[in-house]
Structure 1
Amino acid sequence: MRVLHVITGLGIGGAEQQLRLLLRHLPVHSGVVTLTDPGPVAAALRADGVPVVHLGMRGNRDLSALPRLVRLIRRGRYDVVHTHLYRACVYGRIAARLAGVRHVVATEHSLGTAQIEGRPLSAGARALYLATERLGSATVAVSDTVARRLADWGVRPHRIHVVPNGVDAAALAHDERARATARRRLGIPPDAYVVGGVGRLVPGKRFDVLVRALAELPPDVRLLLVGDGGQRTRLERLAGASGIDDRVVWAGAVTRDLPALLSAMDVFVSPSADEAFGLAVVEALAAGLPVRYVACPALDDLPPEEAPTALRIGGTVADVAAAVRATRAAHGAGAARGPVPPAAYRYDIARTARQLMALYRETSDR
């Protein structure tokens, strides 16, 4: 089976990293087309041996990209076209149909309650999405929550298939040696209590709440932020104005060092109030960290006993600071990691790949 994945961009982000991890476990011949931004994940995919083509799309309304994508799909003689993220879903579904590919799967990674991929939902965005959704064979929701949102948006329920995001729990396992090495490299004292956050530095992730909460915590507490984005300068200024700039550690965007950086943390906090899945939270659970989160459909859709080390908290600065204090009292710096909770294994990437392969076959048999 030949499958072409079409994605809006390949900068550092959850959907992009998820695609790379997924391709390592799908037993098919895969190629990738990125409409824009052939960033670090494109280079990582090529290093994995996956061919990546940059379509050079100049903006949302660059219609000249459509015939180029049609020609590329025809030349590849693909059995399935699989699209990821809003713009790629719109253009990819149209191009696949024009190229004569009957089997088109689209994954909805980032549909929130009031935004899609960080942009406010609008009647126009919804209408365009629904019009092109009908050109596909199936729409994948990464969580039950997203499936409900798609149905509320107007996608017919029988066309929606839940295939959750996945993690490689073994690769994320806690490592004491990696913890010490990462702390030395980042200049974090061995006995510091480290609060961690992972994600794109954009307003919707609400990392400003973590920075403000740090100012209310004791001086030996550090904040380790893993990610990059347009809000970094604003967050740096906020830390400076709060007098805590020497207590915030900026790890930048990473593609390989995440397991070591998670090992360097003592508690993981996700302040985002609107998520489609909450991949970073599940990765932190796989690393054995106690987790405090504001919103995480991946966990909210499960019984609590599957993630006993995770706790949902309020989203204010005071809520986050109080949660960190309480967690530190229960689990100090360097506390032994507990067993990996069942939720991390439920979302194993190999299982996700098997579910997706079953959907490819079901779609191709119609």
Structure 2
Amino acid sequence: MRVLHVISTPGPGGAGHQLRLLVRRLPHDNEVVMLAPAASRVPGKLEDRPGTEPAADGIADALRAEGARVHRLTATCDRDPGAIARLRRLMLDGRYDVVHTHLYRASVQGRIAARLAGVPHVVTTEHHLGAEVLEGRRVSPGVRALYLAGERLGQVTIAASPAIAGRLRDWGVPDERIAMIPKAIDPTEFRFDRRTRAITRARLGVEPGVPLVGGVGRLEPDKRFDLLIRAIAEVPDACLLLVGDGPARASLERLAVIEGVADRVLFAGAVVHTREMLCAMDVFASPDSRTFGLAILEAIASGLPAVYAACPPLEERITARAAVHGTHRLSPRDRESLPRALRAELLCLDERGGARLPGRSVSSRYDADHLAAAVGRLYERIADRPRRRQVIAPLLAYRGRARRFPLPGGKVRNA
């Protein structure tokens, strides 16, 4: 089976790493297309040269190391006819059995191109789908309409979390077109290493005995790293390491100055892989109350204690009365919960003499082997279905659904 994965330029971690874990394990002939924004006009040519992104380049290199062929194509916007034409040509030449799209822009353009090229089977993974924001875009009627029109051109949308599956249903995607396959990690990639810890802390300028609290994620308001900066002001002698970049970085730096902890807050920026940074930390903290918590799973695999506001996989264990050792869920309405939990974990660290906890796994459900096996079974299932080559009919079918399923909070017509 020949599979073409189409992904928008991925940031560090997230969808790019999920794709890497998947491609490594799928027993198929996998190729990958990365849709990159234009960097500059190439003299004498009608199309732009794809731009480069350090994180995307790192993912591309990792995919090539796994034996996948990686293509780079320019996509200047979500509605880019030129990108669709280039994708269609690539798909015609490649004669793929399955096109699997990842992230919004790639899903819109990839599904249209796949249908125009006559690819028999089209799958999408929805990695991020917020109630109000979709990969940095406000969920406007136009964004939602374009998404749903593209959805009709595929066969199945893989929801990477129960929350995403629920949101797809709220938008009007039928149950039979949704498959819930959770995000996953490879725990072996996050094994703690003392030498890596020493080297990374030295590079960051953190002395060996200084307690280091860490957080990982895109620096944006919804992640609530502001709570973490305020909390570290109440944890004497500890430093805070924030791994990631984003639009809120400048405001977070100002907040650190206001709180008087600028000398104790380190901004590492975006990294291709978090293992080194996790090795350098002593406690992991996630104040985001709307996250799936993949970074938390990576942290506990590295042997870190973790305090968190939300993490559905860990919450499943709490419900089953089998909480993962060294994890602490924050009280949602208690602002003192975070600094109190950090102080408690650092006290436990001191009582252990600085010893690392063993790496822990929540469940095999969230391991990369399970992810690949589930996706592989999905491919086989849709391959048994009749070939679909229609383009116009699915879009006409969507036209009626658009009136029945408005944006959340809007009025339902013709229900």
2:196 paired with 1:163: no
Closer, same or farther: CA 304–282 of 1 in aligned 2, 3 Å: farther
Higher alpha-carbon deviation: 100-109 or 225-234: 225-234
Instruction: Select the residue among 212, 217, 230 that pairs with 1:199.
Output: 217
Instruction: Select the residue among 136, 139, 147 that pairs with 1:118.
Output: 136
Instruction: Select the residue among 311, 314, 322 that pairs with 2:340.
Output: 322
Once the two structures are superposed, residues 36-92 of structure 1 have per-residue CA deviations (whole angstroms, 9 ceiling, x without a partner) of 254234423235243322221112232322112111111111111111112211221
**How far did residue 300 of structure 1 move?**
3.3
Contact 1:104 1:136 in 2 (8 A): yes
Counterpart of 1:364 in structure 2 is 383
**How far did residue 295 of structure 1 move?**
2.1
2:8 paired with 1:8: yes
Once the two structures are superposed, residues 163-209 of structure 1 have per-residue CA deviations (whole angstroms, 9 ceiling, x without a partner) of 11111111212222322222122111211111111111222222222
Instruction: Select the residue among 288, 294, 309 that pairs with 1:272.
Output: 288
2:166 paired with 1:148: yes
Counterpart of 1:233 in structure 2 is 250
Distance in 1 (alpha carbons) for counterparts of 2:22 and 2:55: 13
Instruction: Select the residue among 259, 284, 294 that pairs with 2:309.
Output: 294
Unaligned 5+ runs, structure 1? none
Contact 1:7 1:35 in 2 (8 A): yes
RMSD, matched Cα: 2.2
Question: What aligned pairs does 1:1-366 form with structure 2 within 5 A after superposition?
Answer: 1-37=1-37, 38-44=52-58, 45-46=60-61, 47-48=64-65, 49-218=67-236, 220-256=237-273, 258-275=274-291, 277-302=292-317, 303=320, 305=322, 307-314=324-331, 318-332=336-350, 335-343=354-362, 345-366=364-385
Higher alpha-carbon deviation: 40-49 or 67-76: 40-49
**How far did residue 232 of structure 1 move?**
2.1
Contact 1:283 1:344 in 2 (8 A): no
Unaligned 5+ runs, structure 2? 38-51, 386-415
Contact 1:266 1:334 in 2 (8 A): no
Contact 2:32 2:69 in 1 (8 A): yes
- Larger of the two Rg values belongs to structure: 2
- Relative to the length of structure 2, the TM-score reads 0.81
Higher alpha-carbon deviation: 327-336 or 221-230: 327-336
Distance in 1 (alpha carbons) for counterparts of 2:141 and 2:69: 36
- Relative to the length of structure 1, the TM-score reads 0.91
SS in 2 for 1:170: helix
Closer, same or farther: CA 153–310 of 1 in aligned 2, 3 Å: farther
Distance in 1 (alpha carbons) for counterparts of 2:290 and 2:263: 29
Distance in 1 (alpha carbons) for counterparts of 2:384 and 2:342: 51
**How far did residue 29 of structure 1 move?**
1.8
**How far did residue 97 of structure 1 move?**
0.8
Contact 1:103 1:364 in 2 (8 A): yes
